Structure 1
Amino acid sequence: MNKHKFIHERRPHWKRFEALLESTSRRSLSKLPAKEISNFSQLLREVSHDLATIRSRGWGQDLNAYLNDLVARGHNVFYSAPPANLAGVYHYLTFEFPRLFRANIGYFLTACLLFFLPMGISWAVVQSNPSLANRVIAEEMMSRFDQMYGKDSPLNTNAEESTEEEQESDETEDIPLGSFGDERASMAGFYINNNVGIALKCFALGILLGIGSVYTLLFNGIYLGAVSGYIVSQGNGERFLSFVVSHGSFELTAIAVAGGAGLMLGNALIHPGQRTRFQSLQVRGLEAVQIAGGAAVMLVIAAFIEAFWSPSDIPSSVKYIVGSGLWLIVIFYLGFAGLQSTPQTRPLSNRGPQG
């Protein structure tokens, strides 16, 4: 088939799809009749196939740009979030987010390397040589960590390991521990604000060609590793590790997930492919936003665990068991949730619809 015959046969389909795009710009795709939604999906696949054909045969930059714009706009409409409702949120968390995560898992693994490797190295170095801690952590913060996890810490209430004398001492500390519990709701708000702030930096700074995300992941990995190494080196490892083991599963994983979403933004700008950088950012950026949204939900869960469960007066052994279970839940959720979805709920792949 030559170029002119191809254009003559396909142009009506392109115009019909363009008209549908104009229609959906005035109202949500979800409000269209089911037949029109199905037609929209079919036309999007056809136009994407036509675009691939034109690119492979080199039939003109103007035609390529026109169809590329239609496909990019179609992707945005097809992926656009429906009005918020409980069913939509449930579907997003149980199907869309974990599937998008797995489809872009390479970015997550890169973020893990940038985050967890510096954390492990920093932890080991500072634990073996605590004098290096003040190069990363302010003196004031080290004093606070000594208070939070030291002998006088409100976390020092493990009945399993307390001697009779320590238990008597604990009874005199009921008041500060009680006030600690009374403040847990406000602590949850603080943790949400702090943790989501870190994740948003990891994600949003990806717009700087990914450099901002790389820096944020490295910095937080080194800092958290240094903090952990310092606390353990002071003999407070038991209280610290039993405190962080539960919420750490959601919190640390979510930071890496958000960092991976930021790397997606950077890669969309560095390697736009056949699209313009703006078009690439529109298409890939929407997926990155959805993944970052899932990370934010994980951080909210982590904040509530950190505020209400982690500081509770429960034996460390129980916290380790629960914490291990939560790590398994996070792994299985990200690895397997949404695998049993039906074809109707399956989103378009990263490479565009197939003919």
Structure 2
Amino acid sequence: MAGVDVDAFVMANRASWDRLEHLVKKRRRLSGAEVDELVELYQRVSTHLSIVRSSSSDAVLVGRLSGLVARARSVVTGAHAPLRQEFIRFWTVSFPVVAYRSWRWWLGSAVGFFVVAIVIAAWIANNPEVQAAIATPEEIDQLVNNDFAAYYSENPAGSFALSVWVNNAWIAVQCIASAILLGIPIPWVLYNNALNLGLSAGLMFGAGKGDVFLGLITPHGLIELTAVFLAAGAGMRLGWSAISPGDRPRGQVLAEQGRAVIAVAVGLVAVLVVAGLVEAFVSPSPLPTVARIAIGVAVEAAFLGYVVYFGARAARAGETGDVADAPDVLPTG
């Protein structure tokens, strides 16, 4: 600062110092924008301190800026949000807002999936020659009158719930992992699962066992398939971001969407646990078919309500669910 009036330097920057001091004192009640401002001012005032130290002998000014920078540093680097707060934020902001913002993608996945499954099921159910090409009459009889229902009760509920969770998680993992390949394999993963569903439905309906099929599939299938569609939608949204990043740098958009996919993957662990429990304990239960289906519909409605309520609220607040935006350095003192 040689050749520069110290008083002029102080006058030019005093507003920044006062503002930083105000934010430090307010550290327990800062908004997200104020946190960003605090970090920016901390960096700027640190530079001012370096200049003053190298160019001025004013011990009072050096002391004031040193103390201010030290207090700001403790706020910026030494006050991470408690684990409980991070946990709550994930389930009330990060996961639901990512699911909410990508609803068009997973709704599109659902529509495409069901169109394929219904077309295949109708084709098989109404064409005995197609059924004959799939299996012998004896094998079909064994499937529709024994094996399909026995699948849900032949193992203890606890171990069955675990095996169901693993299977469902594997399908979701394929969709999530496909995000690395920009979502390109996801339609094929969905098609194969729609084919399997349509095949079973076609054989069951063709044998007049449609009520059995729906009574066993619907309770867990709604939430289970929703989880798969959400995983698929997040993965394909990432792929589309590479093609059409908008007016932002492609790398920035891909990084943001990649972190969103991770949030979906973590959230779906819990969703698929619920799906597995319903499939193990509700689908094969002796409850009337109407009651079992009602439970499945209630679980699905609860999940969709959760996504819409918390996701819409977070979206209105400008949240994206990106971990880079999370207040992992919330000033708490």
TM-score bucket of the superposed structures, by smaller chain = 0.5 to 0.7
Match of 1:305 among 278, 285, 288: 278
**Segment drifting more, 309-318 vs 264-273:** 264-273
CA-atom RMSD in angstroms: 4.0
Offset at residue 199 of structure 1 (A): 1.0
Offset at residue 139 of structure 1 (A): 10
Equivalence map 1:220-259=2 (5 Å)? 220-259=193-232
2:84 maps to 1:112 = no
Offset at residue 84 of structure 1 (A): 9.6
Cα pair 1:257 1:292 within 8 Å, conserved: no
CA distance in 1, matches of 2:256, 2:147: 45
Equivalence map 1:257-268=2 (5 Å)? 257-268=230-241
SS of structure 2 residue aligned to 1:245 = helix
Cα pair 1:133 1:226 within 8 Å, conserved: no
Offset at residue 197 of structure 1 (A): 0.3
Identity of aligned residues (%): 26
Cα pair 1:133 1:227 within 8 Å, conserved: no
Q: Which residue of 1 aligns with 2:296?
A: 323
Taking a change above 3 Å as real, the CA distance of residues 199 and 146 of structure 1, as seen in their structure-2 partners, is farther
Normalised by the length of structure 1, the TM-score is: 0.61
Offset at residue 241 of structure 1 (A): 1.3
Offset at residue 116 of structure 1 (A): 1.9
CA distance in 2, matches of 1:196, 1:140: 33
CA distance in 2, matches of 1:256, 1:84: 32
* Structure exhibiting the larger radius of gyration computed from Cα positions: 2
Offset at residue 266 of structure 1 (A): 1.1
Q: Which residue of 1 aligns with 2:147?
A: 148
Match of 1:215 among 146, 169, 188: 188
Q: Which residue of 1 aligns with 2:268?
A: 295
Offset at residue 43 of structure 1 (A): 7.5
* Letter of the 2:119 counterpart: I
CA distance in 1, matches of 2:225, 2:318: 28
Unaligned runs of 5+ in 2: 1-26, 42-79, 326-333
Q: Which residue of 2 aligns with 1:194?
A: 167
Cα pair 1:242 1:310 within 8 Å, conserved: yes
CA distance in 1, matches of 2:167, 2:159: 12
Taking a change above 3 Å as real, the CA distance of residues 316 and 342 of structure 1, as seen in their structure-2 partners, is closer
* Letter of the 2:112 counterpart: L
Match of 1:347 among 319, 325, 331: 319
Deviations 1:227-284 (A, max 9, x none): 1221222222222211122111210111111110110221122234466654432121
Q: Which residue of 2 aligns with 1:285?
A: 258
CA distance in 2, matches of 1:202, 1:218: 12
Taking a change above 3 Å as real, the CA distance of residues 253 and 212 of structure 1, as seen in their structure-2 partners, is same
* Letter of the 2:292 counterpart: K
Cα pair 2:161 2:280 within 8 Å, conserved: yes
Taking a change above 3 Å as real, the CA distance of residues 328 and 43 of structure 1, as seen in their structure-2 partners, is same
Higher relative contact order (CA 8 A, sep 6+): 2
Aligned residues: 260
Match of 1:132 among 127, 130, 133: 130
* Letter of the 2:36 counterpart: S
Offset at residue 216 of structure 1 (A): 0.9
* Letter of the 2:124 counterpart: V
* Letter of the 2:201 counterpart: S
* Letter of the 1:95 counterpart: V
* Letter of the 1:93 counterpart: W
Taking a change above 3 Å as real, the CA distance of residues 35 and 199 of structure 1, as seen in their structure-2 partners, is same
Cα pair 2:218 2:296 within 8 Å, conserved: yes
SS of structure 2 residue aligned to 1:313 = coil
SS of structure 1 residue aligned to 2:284 = coil
Q: Which residue of 1 aligns with 2:330?
A: none
Unaligned runs of 5+ in 1: 1-31, 47-81, 156-176
* Letter of the 2:90 counterpart: Y
* Letter of the 2:262 counterpart: V
Offset at residue 336 of structure 1 (A): 2.5
Cα pair 2:231 2:264 within 8 Å, conserved: yes
Normalised by the length of structure 2, the TM-score is: 0.64
Taking a change above 3 Å as real, the CA distance of residues 97 and 126 of structure 1, as seen in their structure-2 partners, is same
Taking a change above 3 Å as real, the CA distance of residues 131 and 262 of structure 1, as seen in their structure-2 partners, is farther
CA distance in 1, matches of 2:36, 2:231: 29
SS of structure 2 residue aligned to 1:247 = helix
